[in-house]
Structure 1
Amino acid sequence: MFVGYVLKKTASGTTSYIVESPSGGISKTTDKSQATIFSSKTKIKKIKSHAPKKTSGFIAEELAKPESKSEVISDPIPIPSQQTKEIQSEDMSKRIVFPQETRMSVYNQSEGRCVYCGRFIPFDEMTIDHIVPLSKGGTNYEKNLQCCCKECNLMKQDLLERDFYRKMKEILRHQVKQKIRKIKRSVIKHRP
């Protein structure tokens, strides 16, 4: 099952990975568990064009959710279970209520703006979106969370970002075609 991508480079027997800081800075690590997991190749292209020298020679490696628990890809920012409150619902058993500190950290990383529409969101109206949805193998680790307005989060549902953007393009393309047809009909109707 698809989890995401990491940027990887092997040189002189050493494997390095790209780490993106919350402020957008780029660094390298040899610890795969600290590597940034990108949800789409579009994000990787953006990072590589933003920092071409630092990312030179790095290639995208697809991560898959392993079958056995012992091989699970670890994330360096776990949320301690004693700080979380489980929601008692069978279909939402993986969902948790995030502690205030985690919510504030996610909110500050996006400067209080929805990652999809860019709208400013008051802290008490923010929803937390999973970059890689839980249903697609995502985790509740802070690295997999982002600030989102309620409307965008409802539209995205359990889609990966690339699928969400593809769907939004389809909707926009359809709406533009409808408007163009309407304008053409109006022009034809009102011709002298």
Structure 2
Amino acid sequence: MAIVITNGEYYIYLNEKGKHRKTKNVVQALQYNTVREAINYMYKAPAKTDGFYVYDTFENHVLWKRLSRQEKIELQEQKNGIANVKRRSDGRIRRKKYSKTARTLVYEKYNGRCQLCGRQILLSEMSLDHVKPLSMGGVDDVSNLACTCMPCNRFKANIAPELFENRINDIFMYQTEKNTKHKLKWKIAHRLLLSCIK
């Protein structure tokens, strides 16, 4: 792991006089021993590192970044949503019991189709899914419910909708590629499918 501080264009490095400066040359970038060491420098020099983040050049991903004001607000709102969720004595989230009328309204809103797999289901087979999971700050209200079949709801669990869709797409693409006997057909289909889901 090569831990550096960058803004995507410039890197922090030490010049001949031992002063922290900026360079475009990743080879000159100062490599920190730990993420904590890099973060500590960013806290000591907030003006110099404004817009910068701690980055792993081997794995090519961000290890830490300073949150913007808007990101801090969103994070606090999410924490508040989770903090306001009622829990049972065993720590699990306490969910509302919805009346038959409320369940019927959700069922009719989605024309009796599972909103994850698209299968037509009976009202008696319907499982209510929180679109934004309660564990992620979603509200336990009819406005946050979707009609799903039990297997799909269990598979989705408490994953955010966009992450669930990405996971399903990844699984589908991998399994299809693995089971395709004609590699040229798969290459063509793969490109077409990618253009449809992105």
TM-score between the two structures when normalised by the length of structure 2 = 0.48
User: Which is richer in strand?
Assistant: 1
Structure with the larger RCO, 1 or 2 (CA within 8 Å, 6+ apart): 1
Larger radius of gyration: 2
User: Which is richer in helix?
Assistant: 2
TM-score between the two structures when normalised by the length of structure 1 = 0.49
